[in-house]
Chains A and B, each alone.
Chain A
Amino acid sequence: MSAASLQTLHLFNRLCFGGRLQDLDNPESAIWKEPASASKHLFGSIPSYKPLKSYSEEFMVDKSEFARVEENRKVYPNSFDEITHNWLRHAADSSNPIREKAALFWIHFIPVIGESEARVKPLIEIYRKHALGKLEDLFFDLFLNPNFMSFLTAVNSTKDSPNQNLAREFMELFTLGVNHYTENDVRELARCFAGFVQPNVKIQTLSLKAENQDFGEKTLMGQRKAYDYKEAIRWIIAQPQTSRFIAKRVLQFYLTTEPNTEMIEACAAAYHNSGHEFQSLLEFMVAEPWFYDAKYMGNKVKTPIELLLQFQHQTGLRTYGLMCHWHLQRWLGQQLFNPPSVGGWPDGNQWLNGSVLVSRLSLLRNLLIIVNRTHPKNGFAYKLHSWLSHYSLRLFRWNMDAKFDEDAYLAAIEKHKISEAHWLLGSGASKLSTEEQTSLGLSELLQHPYYQYC
């Protein structure tokens, strides 16, 4: 593969979830020749925002499956697994997943523990809708979302005794970063954020109760004013430090865990000048020469969700079944809307140890074992087949299947004369011996240590 094609692949790996077979076969496949035209093509074809559709019908293939769905609902009435399933299926199928990758960034950056289906459904749409848009719009919607607000104990906070949790995390985690605000700012911002109530549990939007609000003057980041919550959000977003902090996190998510100061400052300026519009920041970032620096290519540890989606994009394989994504997320150590803490998930090398690593290395190979099963469910052959696959798949054999058009996959690879190793591992393939580059097959490549990086 030429250097420019590898750079294009790098762009697809980072901006989306790897290249898709359809991208290879696209009449515009000239996009593979160099990253600038690929970037232009990608940003020019972002589908407009639409709420997620349901993929439920896929796993309700027969009556027994349907019965299990109902059974499951009785056991977990508050489960929101179907929502995350719909999102992951959508991201796997999406013709241009820039928006979904950006939504994943926000889910990482502003992690929330989901409470119920009714509450997570609007929440995931907030991340998706504003993923590429303006920062203040994202916050304005989040502040009216009962799941986000109750997670940060900001519902029913009053002016007499304002709760500091949201104010602190807003500055520490979502805008300024640690050491860029004082304990006094925390207290003053908490006053601005008092007054939210949920008037009706059936309505998933909060409102403000005037008697709980604090209309007095507050001193925030050195400026004294009678801020309301929107003004306070705008004032903090306007601090140059917010752009710097977010630019750093964006670079860490999309490019490298250790971005240098010049990169951060350049991205921060672009973000600030765009009025904090996320798409502008992304477009700026991928146009910079350092984005294609060899030391960053094939060198970022995939998060579990990236691993799962990239594998599906690159091979065309799809996982099906009620709860399949719940199990896959759980086993890979990253459940959407169930972060280990308000700080979110670990990054980089921290994913590559312990039992999570064992799962990461073996799960994809084992998914290949259960593809395209035609055995009748509940039959012996189906059970035996499940038992022979991954130990974790055995435990929920009734709920997981995968479809894989191997011919289409191999045909696309052969037609475009792309080495399979390069297609799957990108720049990582160059670390393999020449013999390995040609001899290793899909299963070996997916469980190779280098597939852990993108």
Chain B
Amino acid sequence: MDRRRFIQTSLALGAATWAAGSLLEGCAAPTSVEAPKYQGKRLVLISLDGGHDGLHAIAPKNNDVLAKLRPKIYADTLQKGIPISLASQSDFVLHRNLKPWLASLEKEEFRIIPNVGLPLNEWNGSHFVSQDFWSMAEYEGNRNPEGVKGTGWIGRLLGREAMQIKDFKRTAIAMNTLTPLVLQGNAVSGVAWPGLEAAETMQGELTGWLENVSPIENNGVYQEMADLSKVYRWLGKSSPAAGFPASGLGLQLAHAATLIQQDMPFKVIKCSAGGFDTHSGQLVAHEGNYPQMAESLSAFHRFLSEAGLLEQTLVVVYSEFGRTIYENSALGTEHGTAGPMYVIGGGKALSQFTNRPFVFETEKLAGTDTTDYLKHQIDFRDVFSEIQRNWLGV
């Protein structure tokens, strides 16, 4: 049976390729292009998925509305809460578990944009719709030119020459196994990279596959494999940056730090952290994820500071929405409206937003009289638009 013999041969070949790939790393490389070096400005986007309750993290002192609507959560924020000494935020208190931020906050290397969101008539209480809003960030000057649904605001920029580094176009990377919407474009998308260990071990698979399959023109799958082979080869040679907590976000930021150290050609790096959809047991949940978030971000701040990269790296932390002012019977909060954006580094970038005084104002949703929502002061699309124009220079 000829076909049977053929299967056996190809299996043996596959195994041999793999062995060669792992023993003599890089020898059988179909592409051995060096990574173009990049030392310019970078943007690090971090999404806190699920709807981060900013009012639990930072709240005004002596506030009757909060004391009435969220008595237990407000008490938790105030308990050993850290007074902020900045002029614009002096009436506000930082949650005790976010203490690692305090030093950089006072040096204004860590800054807060208060009450970022959407006008209430455009707001949507669904995670998915809202996450898509933040990923697509569509409006006027920032609209998807082809009108195709489902491209991210960074993904759309990747086609532009200003985002290219030498002839490399996919200059955005997500610390993930799949490319998120924010990095998906019409013609060019960012790459997804699950971390150092995986990148190193996957090279053999990529090499083996590319040798086994004849090239197919205009085939997305083939092109993606060819590109990943190149990128994973660049990244697989790194070693992880030290000094980061072992949490999910901590590891992603450690990997991000590594590729910044190695001058890798990525202008935008996307990380994410989950666990913020606190419909119940919010105090317990935040006892765990606030220290993780605080330590991960301050480790990244420390890395940038020691490497002298604070001026040219802009870190922007956001969530798809905030949460309701009132707490529910399960000591949680429901999907709300505005929330803070946290900004690290970037010199004076975004100062027109970070210098705004904190205010606490509420508004009602049209057609309801029962609930007050936190009023947004700043449209997130204005912030992204500013980043696009004046930070990324597109």
Residues of A within 8 A of B (CB): 153, 156-158, 160-165, 168, 172, 178, 182-184, 186-187, 333, 341-343, 346, 349-359, 361-362, 365-366, 368-369, 388-391, 406, 410, 420, 436, 441-444, 447-449, 452
Contacts and interface: CB of A to CB of B under 8 A. Distances in A.
Contact of B222 (A153, A184, A368, A449): A449
Contact of A354 (B49, B194, B216): B194
Interface string B293-330: 00000000000000000000000000000000000111
Contacts of A354: 174, 176-179, 191-194, 228
Contacts of B11: 365, 368-369, 443
Contact of A452 (B50, B221, B371): B221
B224 A357 contact: yes
Given A157-B329, A163-B330, A447-B213, A358 B225 contact: yes
A443 B7 contact: yes
A449 B198 contact: no
B291 interface: no
Contacts of B179: 350, 353-354
A153 B330 contact: yes
Q: Which 5 A-B pairs have the closest CB atoms?
A: A354-B192, A161-B329, A449-B221, A153-B279, A388-B15
Contacts of B330: 153, 156-157, 163
A182 B366 CA distance: 10
6 contacts: A163-B330, A183-B365, A356-B178, A361-B209, A391-B18, A410-B1
Contacts of A184: 367-368
A447 to B, nearest CB: 6
A100 B194 CA distance: 31
B127 A343 contact: yes
A391 B206 CA distance: 11
B278 to A, nearest CB: 9
Nearest to B327: A161
B198 A355 contact: yes
Contacts of B22: 391
Nearest to B332: A153
Contact of B19 (A158, A187, A388): A388
Interface string B361-394: 0000101101100000000000000000000000
B63 interface: no
A357 B279 contact: no
Contacts of B62: none
A346 B178 contact: yes
Interface string B202-230: 10111011001110100111101100100
Contacts of A441: 3, 6-7, 10
A377 B191 CA distance: 39
B368 A183 contact: yes
A391 B126 contact: no
Nearest to A165: B279
B280 interface: yes
Contacts of B228: 354-355, 357-358
Contact of B370 (A158, A187, A342, A410): A187
Given A342-B127, A444-B10, 6 more contacts: A162-B329, A178-B126, A184-B368, A352-B220, A353-B189, A355-B177
Contacts of B6: 441
B124 interface: yes
A161 B328 contact: yes
Interface in B329-379: 329-330, 332, 334-335, 365, 367-368, 370-371
Contacts of A343: 127-128
Contacts of B49: 341
B242 interface: no
B247 interface: no
Nearest to B216: A449
A410 B225 CA distance: 30
Contacts of B107: none
Given A168-B335, A369-B11, A388-B15, A349 B367 contact: no
A158 B329 contact: yes
Nearest to B178: A354
User: Counting chain B CB atoms within 10 Å of each CB, which of A186, A333, A356 scores highest?
Assistant: A356
Nearest to B129: A178
A442 B221 contact: no
A416 B179 CA distance: 42
User: Counting chain B CB atoms within 10 Å of each CB, which of A352, A355, A357, A389 scores highest?
Assistant: A355
Contacts of A366: 14
B14 A443 contact: yes
Contacts of B119: none
A448 B215 CA distance: 11
A361 B14 CA distance: 13
B274 to A, nearest CB: 8
Contacts of A350: 178-179
Contacts of A365: 11, 14
Interface string B154-182: 00000000000000000000101111000
A442 B7 contact: yes
A182 B124 CA distance: 10
Contact of A349 (B127, B128, B204, B220): B220
A391 B204 CA distance: 8
A183 B177 CA distance: 35
A341 B224 contact: no
Contact of A355 (B194, B204, B216, B220): B194
Nearest to B14: A365
Contacts of B14: 365-366, 369, 443
B32 interface: no
A447 B212 contact: yes
B85 interface: no
A164 B332 CA distance: 11
A21 B264 CA distance: 49
Nearest to A341: B127
Nearest to A448: B213
B221 A357 contact: yes
B237 interface: no
Nearest to A449: B221
Nearest to B12: A369
Interface in B6-32: 6-7, 10-11, 14-15, 18-19, 22
A83 to B, nearest CB: 24
Contacts of A156: 329-330
B192 to A, nearest CB: 3
B125 interface: yes
A438 to B, nearest CB: 10
Given A153-B330, A161-B329, A349-B220, A361 B225 contact: yes
A420 B3 CA distance: 10
A449 B328 CA distance: 50
Nearest to A344: B128
A182 B367 CA distance: 9
B201 interface: yes
